[in-house]
């Protein structure tokens, strides 16, 4: 028994040393080469926001570049030494703070003798993260009940197309959103029938939804939208500033001067947290996703619970698709989801199938998507595509278990057959 315990303890000890070495390498890279050659330079972060015709003044944050990099690098080195010598009790929190420190150091170096509108960058990050967060919530509802849903990409694409056509034809953005939700819910129902009733492999069923909508929307765009461009001009949902709160410097423009769909996203994140962990129905969903046979013996209708969860998954995907077309772009473009559904699933796994963690994962993708654009404007000398690899590398690290194992629901992807 003692030998088995020691064997199980070894991977954890190795993980702690790997984390310490990673922190040390990050700290040394900040101290050199980032800090070298920056003496006498300053980094300016603009905090004034100009969004939707509203200007919110805030003083610029001006930092001495080299001193700031020395402080940030030294903090990482000290954290590495402590981790290697003693170990942090909450290492995941430390890793999160370390990641923020590395990002702050890189932005400080990138803006040496230049300026960057930090508030605008954070606003852009949230805007770009919103469809990924909707996709993450979509995957969470489905997979918490035990049904893998990789068809989110296709559901979002179908919703985006329908929202544009309905909104353009009816001159109502609200009806466009409703139409997009309905189409995505129908596609979710198709996926549910195939995977729950007929026990089709859930990966194959989801893939079928993606292929179906990729082909169908591409054909319909060429056959209908290109021939009738008036059906591809729905307009976009305007920002709605919350009086008082939207005037708060930095925080106001980010959280309280957004479109109604982003406010709905915030509400859904809170509701999902409450539903999943504070209600009887949420307990039943999690029970069905973990031990469906045990749930069945307790009188829980496994099939009905899974159908409802998959339909809710479709609703979330529908909101994400509608946001991409009439919430942000104002038109439909072929294949416009560009993998956002898959990024949502990655964010869900990053967040360990929890709403808050999933949103954090979506924000990471949104932030790095935004910083590609901002840093390419600054011409920092690093290829933008290389910068864009950062969130994917972070996801690989998480999935590899360096930040702690993500644990999927035990019955996820397993069809249930009532006996």
Is pTM beyond 0.75? Reply is yes
Note whether residue 388 is domain-resident.
no
163, 264: one domain: yes
205, 290: one domain: yes
Note whether residue 163 is domain-resident.
yes
- Would you say how long the chain is, in residues? 419
131, 21: one domain: no
The one-digit pLDDT tens for each residue of the chain (419 residues) are 444 444 444 445 687 888 899 999 999 999 999 999 999 999 999 999 987 677 899 999 999 999 999 999 999 999 999 999 988 888 777 888 898 899 899 999 999 999 999 999 999 999 999 999 999 999 999 999 999 999 999 999 999 999 999 999 999 999 999 999 999 999 999 999 999 999 999 999 999 999 999 999 999 999 999 999 999 999 999 999 999 999 999 999 999 999 999 999 999 999 999 999 999 999 999 999 999 999 999 999 999 999 999 999 999 999 999 999 999 999 999 999 989 999 999 899 888 899 999 999 899 889 988 887 787 777 777 777 777 777 677 667 666 655 556 689 999 999 998 87
Do 240 and 258 contact (CB within 8 A), yes or no?
yes
Note whether residue 416 is domain-resident.
no
Note whether residue 333 is domain-resident.
yes
67, 104: one domain: yes
HEC-encoded secondary structure of 32-91 = HHHCCCCCCCEEEEECCEEECCEEECCCCEEEEHHHHHHHHHHHHHHHHHHHHHCCCCCH
Last residue of a domain, one of 87, 113, 139: 113
Note whether residue 389 is domain-resident.
no
87, 153: one domain: no
Note whether residue 409 is domain-resident.
no
188, 60: one domain: no
61, 109: one domain: yes
Residue 104 in tokens: 């702050």
Domain count across the chain: 2
Note whether residue 400 is domain-resident.
no
Note whether residue 395 is domain-resident.
no
b (16+ CB within 10 A) / e for 106-125:
bbbbbbbeeebbbbbbbbbb
Range of the domain at 42: 13-113
Mapped onto helix, strand or coil, the DSSP state of residue 201 is coil
70, 197: one domain: no
Residue 176 and residue 64: Cα distance in Å, rounded?
Answer: 50
Last residue of a domain, one of 113, 128, 158: 113
Place of tokens 């198709």: 190
221, 278: one domain: yes
């Amino acid at each position: 028994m003692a030998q088995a315990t020691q064997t199980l303890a070894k991977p954890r000890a190795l993980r702690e040393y790997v984390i310490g070495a990673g922190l040390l390498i990050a700290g040394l890279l900040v101290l050199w080469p980032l800090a070298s050659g920056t003496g006498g330079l300053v980094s300016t972060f603009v905090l004034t926001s100009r969004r939707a015709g509203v200007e919110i003044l805030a003083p610029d944050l001006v930092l001495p570049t080299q001193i700031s990099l020395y402080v940030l690098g030294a903090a990482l080195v000290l954290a590495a030494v402590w981790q290697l010598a003693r170990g942090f009790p909450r290492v995941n929190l430390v890793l999160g703070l370390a990641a923020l420190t590395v990002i702050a150091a890189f932005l400080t170096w990138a803006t040496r003798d230049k300026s960057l509108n930090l508030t605008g960058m954070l606003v852009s990050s949230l805007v770009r993260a919103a469809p990924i967060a909707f996709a993450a919530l979509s995957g969470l509802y489905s997979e918490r009940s035990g049904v893998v849903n990789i068809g989110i990409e296709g559901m979002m694409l179908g919703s985006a197309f329908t929202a544009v056509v309905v909104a353009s034809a009816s001159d109502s953005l609200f009806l466009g959103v409703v139409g997009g939700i309905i189409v995505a819910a129908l596609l979710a129902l198709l996926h549910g029938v195939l995977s729950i009733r007929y026990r089709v492999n859930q990966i194959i069923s989801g893939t079928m939804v993606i292929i179906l909508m990729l082909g169908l929307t591409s054909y319909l765009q060429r056959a209908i939208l290109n021939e009738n461009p008036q059906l591809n001009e729905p307009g976009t949902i305007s920002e709605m500033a919350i009086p008082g709160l939207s005037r708060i410097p930095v925080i106001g423009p980010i959280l309280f001067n957004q479109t109604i769909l982003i406010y709905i996203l915030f509400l859904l994140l809170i509701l999902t947290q409450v539903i999943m962990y504070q209600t009887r129905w949420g307990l039943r969903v999690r029970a069905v996703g973990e031990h469906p046979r045990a749930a069945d013996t307790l009188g829980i209708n496994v099939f009905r619970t899974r159908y409802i969860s998959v339909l809710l998954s479709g609703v979330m995907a529908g909101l994400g698709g509608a946001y991409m077309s009439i919430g942000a772009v104002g038109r439909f473009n072929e294949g416009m989801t560009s993998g956002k559904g898959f990024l949502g699933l990655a964010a869900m796994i990053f967040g360990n199938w929890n709403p808050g963690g999933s949103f954090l994962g979506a924000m990471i993708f949104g932030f790095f998507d935004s910083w590609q654009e901002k840093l390419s404007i600054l011409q920092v000398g690093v290829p933008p595509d290389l910068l864009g690899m950062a969130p994917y590398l972070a996801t690989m690290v998480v999935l590899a278990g360096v930040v702690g194992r993500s644990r999927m629901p035990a019955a996820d992807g397993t069809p249930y057959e009532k006996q």
